[in-house]
Structure 1
Amino acid sequence: MRFGLTALFSLAALPAASDPLLGLPIDCTLGETCYIQQYVDRDASEGARDFACGRLSYDGHKGTDFAVPTLEAMRAGVNVIASAPGVVRGIRDGVEDRVYGPDNAEAVAGRECGNGVVLEHEDGWETQYCHMKQGSVRVRRGDRVERGDVLGQVGISGKAQFPHVHLSVRRDGAVVDPFDTGALAACGQDGHSLWQDTIAYVPGGLIDAGFTDNVPEYEAVQDGTVTAEHLPADAPAIVLFVLAYGGRAGDTLRLTIDGPGGRFLAQDMKLDRDQARLFRATGRRAGSSNWPVGAYNGEITLLREGRELDRIATQVVVK
């Protein structure tokens, strides 16, 4: 699995000598097993803008969201790790992992971070790690940790609608964007980054894809357990679905299926609004006879202004 093949640009500017060098707060490979869903909001008004003047943020967002593709990936266990050496200043555990919504908003009021850890670093710097898995926090207040030490695991506790770790970086209590510490967004220029290694900016991409025999519910797609590796020849339908992030109005999702007899289906879907996370599906219902047996190959391409932003492929075998 990979996310966002096309990066707009990479950050190369190094931190100042007094600034911390940050590593990823999650034990994964960006672009393969995890991705960045949201950045710090750099717009002081009611709008939202990320450090690159893109739209991967929302009003008032104070951190960077490092996400795993599905709840199944979360349940398998993905470690949250310290981005820099420091001392544990605070922890919380015991908040239930569940998708945030109106039915549980009151229960997480005042605990929007969910299960988390706050690390104190030198010169007034601190990092906070939110939405960790219930029961996974493995450090205690006062512990000394090094960069890369395990703090817990990725979860979906608190005010979270997808599994991720939200990393907030602050200095003397003020929010700092680790991708660009300047007062103004970089907007395509190299900003003053705190990251130890260069992280490419990716403005959106494809998270997961698969086949099933009906149009799935969004909750099932987000769970990650709906994909079929095999379908019977008498399946009621052959459906290709895709889960994506950072969709913009005007983007096109191009879905194609090639079966044993050649091109089985092709459809372009244009997005009519911005969506932080979305899924689409297409397929064909069964006719009077069974489906031809063999491999059905699905491919989904995300196009923005005619330019390929990302591509993902999947397969199901009918037998």
Structure 2
Amino acid sequence: MAGTFLSDAPKLQMPVECTLGQDCYIQNYVDRDPGSGVRDAGCGGLTYDGHKGTDFALLTEAQMQAGVQVIAAAPGRVVATRDEERDGAYASGKKVAGKECGNGIIIDLGNGWQSQYCHLREGSISVNRGDRVKAGEPLGLVGQSGQAEFPHLHLSLRHDDTVVDPFDPEMQDACASDATQTLWTDPVKYSSSGWLDAGLTATVPRFETVLAGAPLPPPRETGPALVLWGYGFGLRAGDTIGFAITGPDGISIRTTSEVDASKARFFRYVGKKTPPSGWPKGTYAGQITLSRDGAVIARRPASVRID
């Protein structure tokens, strides 16, 4: 299969103008399980049954509103577009049957290859049917149209109408998290889990507020509490989450807990009510960790100063 199949395969660059692990991340990979189960390229579960692409997700809705550019991963000719679907319709309970891709673009890459871009922001698509595009050329903005629960770009690659996983185009049975034979030219690496953001606040924020990217109240000397929160992806049952807060005058708050259920996206926090004398002035440092099979696989710091 590798000969002709890979000899004319397109090379793909990062399709979103963002930095993985900083202001975007991969939420879902191609589902490689032929049955009713799920399995991603790294033999993990960061996908769902029948998922046919790679989902490049933004951290917050505020990023989507500010505008994050979608660019052509490979050169080709535009063969179809749609640009009139409302963002957030599916998340608000609207039916999107037949238009699950939302606002999208299909590009013919030649030699039986096609790329498809889905869930772009309404009214943002900047190319038309028949246009020829170069790799890196702007196509539109990341959105939440179609069957999208959060702002992201779904990129699907097909060869002769068969889905191809760019992380391991030969779709081998072995885990491909460290595969060298990928179709990416940019350093797009497989990541099974991670922290996306963390902070120290005066109250427990709602997860919806964090996802919106709205401002959160900082801790104060006489505020209601001191809270360390974290937001991440790819949580697995059996993982361990650790929280640590240190501050002036020997203040130390530490907790660990084992996870009982897997979550595609998750939010956790720990905190303590403000003592009657208030919080001592100075710098407070927080750190959250995610451990799997006894080893820390992700950590995220946070700090704040109380004056």
In structure 2, relative to structure 1, the CA distance for the partners of 1:240 and 1:226 (3 Å cut) is farther
Aligned twin of 2:267: 279
1:181–1:191 CA contact under 8 A, matched in 2: no
Please give the alpha-carbon distance, in whole angstroms, between the structure 2 residues aligned to 1:292 and 1:222. Answer: 31
Corresponding residue of 2:199? 210
Q: Secondary structure at the match of 1:56?
A: coil
Q: Which stretch shows the higher mean deviation, 291-300 or 40-49?
A: 291-300
In 1, distance between residues paired with 2:303 and 2:66?
A: 23
Q: Does the residue aligned with 2:111 lie in a helix, a strand or coil? A: helix
CA contact (8 A) 2:31 2:48 kept: yes
Task: Kindly report which structure 2 residues correspond to 1:185-204, keeping only aligned pairs within 5 A, or say none.
Answer: 185-188=173-176, 190=179, 192-204=181-193
Q: Choose which of 5, 14, 22 in structure 1 pairs with 2:12.
A: 22
For structure 2, which runs of at least 5 residues remain unmatched after alignment? none
Kept after mapping to 1: 8 A contact 2:219/2:225 = no
What is aligned with 2:305?
A: 317
The yes-or-no answer on 1:126 pairing with 2:143 is no
SS at match of 1:232: coil
Shift of 1:191: 6.2
Q: Give the counterpart of 2:25 among 32, 35, 42.
A: 35
Match of 1:231, SS state, is coil
Separation (CA, whole Å) in 1 of partners of 2:251 and 2:75: 54
Displacement after TM superposition at 1:86 (Å)? 0.7
Conserved? CA contact 1:216–1:226, under 8 Å:
no
Residue 222 (structure 1) aligns with: 211
Regions of 4+ moved over 6 Å: none
Corresponding residue of 1:68? 58
**Structure 1 residue aligned with 2:156:** 168
Q: Post-superposition shift, 1:259?
A: 1.3
State the alpha-carbon separation in 2 of the partners of residues 277 and 90 from structure 1: 32
Partner of 1:242: 230
Q: Per the alignment, in what secondary structure is the counterpart of residue 207 of structure 1? A: strand
Once the two structures are superposed, what CA deviation does each residue of 1:155-212 show, in whole Å capped at 9, x if it has no partner?
A: 1222112221110001121111111122433314636422124432211100111122
Aligned residues: 302
Q: Please tell me whether residue 181 in structure 1 is matched to residue 169 in structure 2.
A: yes
Structure 1 residues 293 and 128, CA, compared in 2 at 3 Å: closer, same or farther?
same
Percent same amino acid among aligned pairs? Answer: 47
In structure 1, distance between residues paired with 2:127 and 2:234: 34
TM normalised by structure 1 equals: 0.89
User: CA separation in 2, counterparts of 1:146 and 1:299?
Assistant: 43
Q: By how many angstroms is 1:232 displaced? A: 2.5
Instruction: Between the two structures, name the one with larger relative contact order (CA 8 Å, sep ≥ 6).
Output: 1
Q: Deviations over 1:22-43 (max 9, x none)?
A: 1111112222222111100000
Aligned to 1:96: 86
Say if 2:164 and 2:171, in contact at 8 Å, map to a contact too.
no
The normalised TM-score by structure 2 is 0.93
Residue 205 to residue 275, structure 1, CA distance change in 2 (3 Å)? same
What SS is found at the alignment partner of 2:216? coil
Distance 1:99 1:210 in 2: 30
Considering only aligned residues, what root-mean-square deviation do their CA atoms show, in Å?
1.8
Give 1:279 deviation, angstroms. Answer: 0.4
| Shift in alpha-carbon separation, 1:71–1:63, aligned structure 2, 3 A | same
For residues 271 and 57 of structure 1, the distance between their equivalents in structure 2, rounded to whole angstroms, comes to 19
Deviation at 1:235, TM superposition (A): 0.8
State the distance in 1 between where 2:154 and 2:49 align.
Answer: 15
Aligned partner letter, 2:245? I
